Structure 1
């Protein structure tokens, strides 16, 4: 077992995973990875191996993910692998990376522009701006997670970015097309890949078709997430059927849903009888729509957390409890620890302790002398998208997470329960898988 393997929490990698983790730094790989195959762990171990074993500079690596929730979890996992070197890795959503390029190289960049205008401008900068080309020339490796969900202009942007990277810059793309959350319904399942080059094609098809980009395909096959026979059939047999384009026809969506119900554990959960006490803080209870989540939450009789797409992030309660009356411009560590001891300790269920809270404050608004600039902190927290170091993806303090499938993309949990309402009124039974 290599130095990296021993360091990554004693993880034992299978042959397919090691082939990805230990590939050359300049390799360009498309990784097909189904549910439970360790995709996120391998993605992070890949970067950790490059930093520790291949002397890749952390600040010259990018990690691009689909959601801010996934970014926060990737950041935490990378920190467990490479320590403080993880803070130098540019870990962000595609939109954050795009805005970084836009705002850093276009003096006329404004947040008031439309999403389409901003992305189009970034693509123009990638194609023609010399300063952007110089910045990209320093990148040694890029990891792209959840690539199956990059469509339309986001796919245009990533395609152009990959084309503008130096030839010796490695790229590792992780995806599972069976998990794509866009473009899969009975109305369009037969037309998902219709169209010529450009925005009519998913990103993965474009990368495969462009031989000059030099991508090779690798597959993670072994399922580690579950021992349930039904789930393993869904993750393997049903997944193959979804990916088989010869099966794409009207009715595939409904047929797939029926197969999932067939393989589900069928515990006969009911909305009004769902006992949150049966689950832990590390569990996810997932529904398809926000309406279903809110209906289930109404009947939950114990504390739980809500995660809903489109609702944005929230902030931990300790921020208000500590600083509601604090009006000094700067905050020293000793003063913060005193405030925490008096106001938070033994009184609020904070997600972490004072030492971790202080580290997060420093990362958001720290000064060179080791204090926190409170004015800067307030500005950062007042934005529509607060910093991921402090933001919480769920509403609530304790208990399992009740949320939508979409909002939980990139989230890992000890147990994941998918509740699929039957075509019956809300108070009727659910199928649990």
Structure 2
């Protein structure tokens, strides 16, 4: 049975027209919010592998976010048959794989920025690296979220499609109304030009045979309240090309969206008993959507104080390796694993599907005769090459997120922090089209209910541009009261306790495995008073219930020093004794040198567990001049 025969009754005519096009067709699909895009792409892949008989390795699937990749992967596993081995990747993840095609052993990428990797991958594509690869040139490329292709990512995709235009079909999907990543382009004029630039490039470059399809139905919003913003999508998709006219039209749309949101019910103050009960007891999924991460950090701190469990949505680029991967590598001395042996080791939590996980692992560490190569898996962990669906955060029913990080997600209930009036935008740097699209994306996330949430008082929350971190200031410009934790703030070069003669690294690994969980409170304690250099603070240990579980990274020490250095002439001579209020985001697997772990009694695999931090840390300036007696070790 063909895809069209099997699912024709469940797809709209527009969806079916996208699904059933031949492999060499070139399609540009405009898919509005909740328009069944993922379902359409799932059956498109099934048609390509089933009816069109392309091999899974001949299809390249790219998307902007790990959330979109994970959703597509899960939908393919559930609904498709022949397409199950098709690999979906983020643009950043694929760029890394392209670079490793040229040189699998290259070790110069660890400190390279994402944007630089993208640019390097573009150069490699133009040199023909795909022509010489084992899988060869893709026969069909599927690209999701193309409205967010700006700058170097747009350059990379255009280079790919342009180089292989003669023998490669494509299906590109996007919605200009949801283009909210233009801020990655700093210059306002360049940013305005980037809007719809990829759409224009595709239309001009493939004008002879490009087929355009619009998916206009909405399958997400199940209530009238959840549909309130949908009518504004077409207006945001077709903003004028001229910057001034676009700003005028976008400001009008923003005003109408903001007015419609004002009609939504007020969720109530967070410290109200009824509000707290609603957050704790709601049976569906809830998202609190904020305009920036300063609001996220502030609200998360308040909810923790009020005893409300929740999760902060990670950046799309955050890729922690789950703790069970280290457990898997340490559970056997074998070089390869069969699927049956993998299942016998039982390292997965109940929420993980063993078959799906096995195939995902094999995509980055395939061994001979259908096995899993464990040394290849260790290298994949060290290089951050695990498939996106394996690094996704665990499910949590209550999420606090910026609108940017919630892109592509949907929730039963959405609480939107009151958006600013146009008069509160940043003067000449205001970007009305971006503001309108951002509010539109927020208001199209709910399945059922949308509420307003009063804007928190975050006047002391400020962004420190040199470190790209939020911090807590004060009435005086030099005040520093707290700092945001980031993904790379824990030292990953050595396991916890490796440099402490009184610690027991194996016992600390067991403690991390059994006692440390996402959401747990931790604090940083200054270990001594001697910085390793003139541009960083002294080291800080990470303590969980009074027990050391790691130390901060060099990056954190340097960023903290830069934050405390108020200006060029300021000499940093005082450091906080403690930093309290931080939380565990997750416990992740880390890979390093096997000789190191063997010396520490942690096995010869070269893997261990390390905490990853999140939240807002508050400075304790007690004993700022020196570490008090007895504070060096717990």
What TM-score does the superposition give when structure 1 sets the normalisation length?
Answer: 0.78
SS at structure 2 position matched to 1:99: helix
Find the partner of 2:310 among 293, 304, 307. 304
Corresponding position of 1:27 = 25
- CA positional deviation for 1:271: 3.7
Deviations 1:193-246 (A, max 9, x none): 54xxxx797211111122457322211111221143354342223542563317
The change in CA–CA distance for 1:178 and 1:248 in structure 2 (over 3 A counts) is farther
Corresponding position of 2:224 = 229
Deviates more, 1:97-106 or 1:11-20: 97-106
Q: Structure 2: which 5+ runs fail to align?
A: 421-453, 459-634
Aligned partners of 1:256 and 1:319: how far apart in 2?
Answer: 47
Find the partner of 2:406 among 405, 408, 415. 408
Aligned partners of 1:324 and 1:98: how far apart in 2?
Answer: 27
SS at structure 2 position matched to 1:295: helix
RMSD over equivalenced CA pairs, Å: 3.8
- Whose relative contact order is higher, 1 or 2, with alpha carbons under 8 Å and at least 6 apart? 1
The change in CA–CA distance for 1:385 and 1:405 in structure 2 (over 3 A counts) is farther
- The count of corresponding residues between Structure 1 and Structure 2 is 409
- CA positional deviation for 1:65: 0.5
1:115-154 alignment runs, 5 A limit: 115=114, 117-129=116-128, 132-133=130-131, 138-154=137-153
Does residue 328 in structure 1 map to residue 326 in structure 2?
no
Aligned partners of 1:324 and 1:213: how far apart in 2?
Answer: 52
Tell me which protein shows more helix as a share of its residues. Answer: 1
Corresponding position of 1:277 = 280
Does residue 381 in structure 1 map to residue 387 in structure 2?
no
Corresponding position of 1:95 = 92
Q: Is the contact between residue 288 and residue 417 of structure 2 (CA under 8 Å) also seen in structure 1?
A: no
What TM-score does the superposition give when structure 2 sets the normalisation length?
Answer: 0.56
Corresponding position of 1:220 = 215
Aligned partners of 2:383 and 2:393: how far apart in 1?
Answer: 15
Deviations 1:402-423 (A, max 9, x none): 3222223333x35251512355
Corresponding position of 1:352 = 352
Tell me which protein shows more strand as a share of its residues. Answer: 2
Q: Structure 1: which 5+ runs fail to align?
A: 429-433
- CA positional deviation for 1:35: 0.4
1:241-320 alignment runs, 5 A limit: 241=236, 243-245=238-240, 248-250=245-247, 254-264=251-261, 266-269=264-267, 270-272=269-271, 273=275, 275-280=278-283, 282-298=285-301, 299=303, 301-309=307-315, 312-319=318-325
Aligned partners of 1:71 and 1:338: how far apart in 2?
Answer: 28
Corresponding position of 1:368 = 368
SS at structure 2 position matched to 1:24: coil
The change in CA–CA distance for 1:169 and 1:333 in structure 2 (over 3 A counts) is closer
Corresponding position of 2:40 = 42
Corresponding position of 1:159 = 158
1:54-93 alignment runs, 5 A limit: 54-83=52-81, 85-87=83-85, 89-93=86-90
The change in CA–CA distance for 1:15 and 1:85 in structure 2 (over 3 A counts) is closer
Corresponding position of 1:181 = 180
Q: Which has the larger radius of gyration?
A: 2
